[in-house]
């Protein structure tokens, strides 16, 4: 059981939570949602008792295991003699049980006797999830557990959650996961700094929240009309001085009780972006590119070209060479053979989480001002469209969440006059609303685009004209049948 009572918490001088309370009962399965930067990971840290609260109380009854969305450094893993020793340190499970979990999370090629130290970040994160699952804690906390997994792996995780007989808290941008076996949604309202509780799945939460917002709007409209009526009566001046004073006090009381309208992302489909520099008809072409790392051939005789204003999707499983090709296209790596021919007027913008380059000491608005020749009013308007509040734009970049940094990076790209954007997984770790904002911005963008993404709905709505399949090296016109391959990892 988890009990949070009257908790307040601040970070970097900014209020994250203001007097929140919540309860997670035994055997309850809870989805924790909210926009990027609202404090989801912070709350998980507080519940895991790894962080101190300013005011309030966090009480956890029973054993707890928490897995962050990405494992960069885990002393338990680094100090383990083998994958087997890390996953089951007390040796409470048979090898076939451990192997079953490895298979479920798509790590069946790993040997239990291998060292885990040289594995990728995604592999280490999945091992950490398996370690937590095997421990069978009373409370299991999972932050984006289906990242790095294809459809089959996601189904395995969902099936496990549905049969787990203890409490689970999940943070995920995967809506199918939040609609599977979840019986309560906790929504972090980034504006009020409060927690809102909704019974049911994520789909039910969306419906209930919309009903709540519509009711609040109606109440606000009715109260505002009543206040206006009283103000008009006050202006008529037919009352005595005493009555006028009493009416004025009543108006002030009514204003204080006026329901606050929810702040929603406004005008997502009206993001006005600068026109990119006009380049040649073929901004970029790839001729017979091959690339190997040692004996491992990653790319073999890749050929394609890109037309002005065209959107091209790169699709293939992890290890097929997508990121390697992207790095060659943007000049971060060189091919072993072949060439990339770039138009003389090409202006290329690149996004990858691994390649986010910010001055963390600079403010959000100054970061945009330094890169774009736009007036402050336009910059503020654009940042507002990207969900940066008036308070947030004066925060330093270093205080932003990962999702907020992604929104800022994409805003920087589309506000400059690049005529080709190369985007490597721009939606990883983003909440649903942030994905929608970035999608609308990219749909509005008039230049050419090469994009890598495992998010099926994102690719479908972006509507690429062609697709390059790797490692087959096959170029084709886009068909929705390719969506099944988008989710493969």
- Could you report the per-residue pLDDT of 18-33, keeping only the tens digit for each? 999 999 999 999 999 9
Longest dimension (CA), the chain: 95
In a domain, residue 364? The reply is no
Instruction: Of 94-98, 140-144, 214-218, 325-329, give the range with the top mean pLDDT.
Output: 325-329
Report how far apart, in Å, the C-alpha atoms of 485 and of each of 206, 209, 237, 408 are: 28, 33, 72, 29
Query: What is the average pLDDT across 56-85?
Result: 84
Identify the pLDDT of residue 137: 93
Mean pLDDT of the chain: 85
Percent of the chain with pLDDT over 90: 30
pLDDT tier for residue 261 given thresholds of 50, 70 and 90: low
Same structural domain for residues 154 and 279? Answer: no
pLDDT digits (tens, 9 = 90+) for 213-227: 888 888 888 888 888
Query: What is the average pLDDT across 235-252?
Result: 79
pLDDT digits (tens, 9 = 90+) for 379-410: 888 888 888 888 889 999 988 888 888 889 98
In a domain, residue 79? The reply is yes
Same structural domain for residues 219 and 198? Answer: no
Same structural domain for residues 157 and 210? Answer: no
pLDDT tier for residue 153 given thresholds of 50, 70 and 90: confident
Identify the pLDDT of residue 141: 92
In a domain, residue 380? The reply is no
Same structural domain for residues 343 and 471? Answer: yes
In a domain, residue 367? The reply is no
Distance (Å, rounded) from C-alpha 416 to C-alpha 342? 19
In a domain, residue 369? The reply is no
Q: Which domain holds residue 144?
A: 2-205
In a domain, residue 390? The reply is no
Query: What is the average pLDDT across 166-187?
Result: 87
Identify the pLDDT of residue 301: 93
Q: What is the CATH number of the domain that holds 193?
A: 3.40.50.300
Query: What is the average pLDDT across 104-109?
Result: 86
Whether the model clears a pTM of 0.85, i.e. scores above it, the answer is no
Query: What is the average pLDDT across 203-210?
Result: 87
Of 188, 205, 222, which residue sits at a domain end? 205
Same structural domain for residues 71 and 200? Answer: yes
Distance (Å, rounded) from C-alpha 100 to C-alpha 218? 53
Q: Decide: helix, strand or coil at residue 159.
A: helix
pLDDT tier for residue 238 given thresholds of 50, 70 and 90: low
Same structural domain for residues 239 and 277? Answer: no
Whether the ω angle into residue 68 lies within 30 degrees of 0, i.e. cis, is no
Same structural domain for residues 189 and 331? Answer: no
Query: What is the average pLDDT across 283-310?
Result: 92
Q: Indicate the number of domains in the chain.
A: 3
Identify the pLDDT of residue 267: 43
Same structural domain for residues 115 and 42? Answer: yes
Same structural domain for residues 126 and 252? Answer: no
In a domain, residue 448? The reply is yes
Of 205, 220, 238, which residue sits at a domain end? 205
Same structural domain for residues 181 and 118? Answer: yes
In a domain, residue 374? The reply is no
Identify the pLDDT of residue 288: 94
Same structural domain for residues 191 and 241? Answer: no
């Amino acid at each position: 059981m988890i009990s949070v009572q009257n908790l307040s918490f601040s970070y970097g001088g900014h209020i994250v939570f203001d007097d929140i309370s919540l309860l997670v009962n035994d055997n309850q399965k809870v989805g924790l949602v909210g926009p990027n930067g609202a404090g989801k990971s912070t709350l998980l840290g507080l519940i895991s008792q790894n962080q101190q609260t300013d005011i309030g109380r966090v009480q956890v009854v029973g054993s707890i295991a928490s897995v962050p969305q990405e494992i960069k450094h885990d002393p338990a893993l680094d100090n383990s003699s083998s994958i087997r020793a890390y996953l089951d340190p007390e040796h409470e499970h048979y090898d076939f049980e451990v192997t079953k979990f490895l298979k479920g999370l798509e790590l069946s090629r790993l040997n239990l006797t291998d060292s885990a130290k040289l594995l990728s970040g995604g592999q280490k994160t999945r091992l950490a999830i398996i370690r937590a699952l095997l421990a069978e804690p009373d409370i299991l906390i999972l932050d984006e557990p289906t990242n790095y997994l294809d459809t089959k792996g996601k189904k395995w995780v969902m099936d496990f959650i549905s049969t787990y007989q203890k409490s689970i808290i999940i943070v995920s941008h995967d809506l199918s996961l939040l609609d599977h076996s979840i019986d309560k949604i906790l929504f972090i309202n980034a504006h009020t700094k409060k927690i809102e509780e909704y019974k049911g799945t994520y789909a039910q939460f969306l419906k209930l929240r919309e009903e709540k917002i519509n009711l609040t709007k109606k109440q606000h409209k009715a109260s505002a009309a009543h206040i206006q009526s009283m103000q008009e009566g006050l202006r008529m001046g037919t009352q005595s001085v005493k009555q006028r004073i009493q009416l004025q006090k009543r108006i002030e009381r009514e204003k204080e009780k006026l329901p606050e309208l929810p702040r929603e992302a406004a005008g997502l489909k009206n993001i006005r972006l600068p026109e990119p520099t006009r380049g040649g008809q073929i901004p970029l072409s790839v001729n017979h590119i091959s690339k190997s790392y040692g004996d491992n051939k990653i790319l073999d005789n890749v050929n394609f070209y890109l037309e002005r204003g065209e959107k091209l999707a790169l699709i293939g499983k992890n290890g097929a060479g997508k990121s390697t090709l992207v790095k060659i296209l943007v000049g971060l790596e060189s091919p072993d053979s072949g060439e990339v021919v770039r138009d003389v007027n090409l202006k290329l913008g690149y996004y990858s989480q691994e390649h986010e380059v910010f001055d963390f000491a600079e403010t959000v608005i100054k970061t945009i001002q330094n890169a774009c020749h736009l007036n402050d009013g336009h910059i503020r308007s654009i940042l507002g469209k990207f969900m940066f509040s008036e308070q947030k734009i004066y925060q330093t970049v270093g205080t932003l969440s990962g999702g907020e940094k992604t929104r800022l990076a994409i805003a920087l790209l589309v506000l400059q006059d690049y005529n080709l954007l190369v985007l490597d997984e721009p939606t990883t770790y983003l909440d649903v609303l942030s994905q929608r904002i970035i999608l609308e911005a990219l749909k509005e963008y008039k230049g050419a685009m090469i994009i890598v993404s495992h998010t099926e709905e994102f690719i479908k709505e972006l509507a690429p004209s062609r697709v390059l399949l790797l490692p087959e090296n096959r170029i084709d016109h886009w068909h929705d049948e390719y969506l099944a391959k988008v989710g493969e990892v």
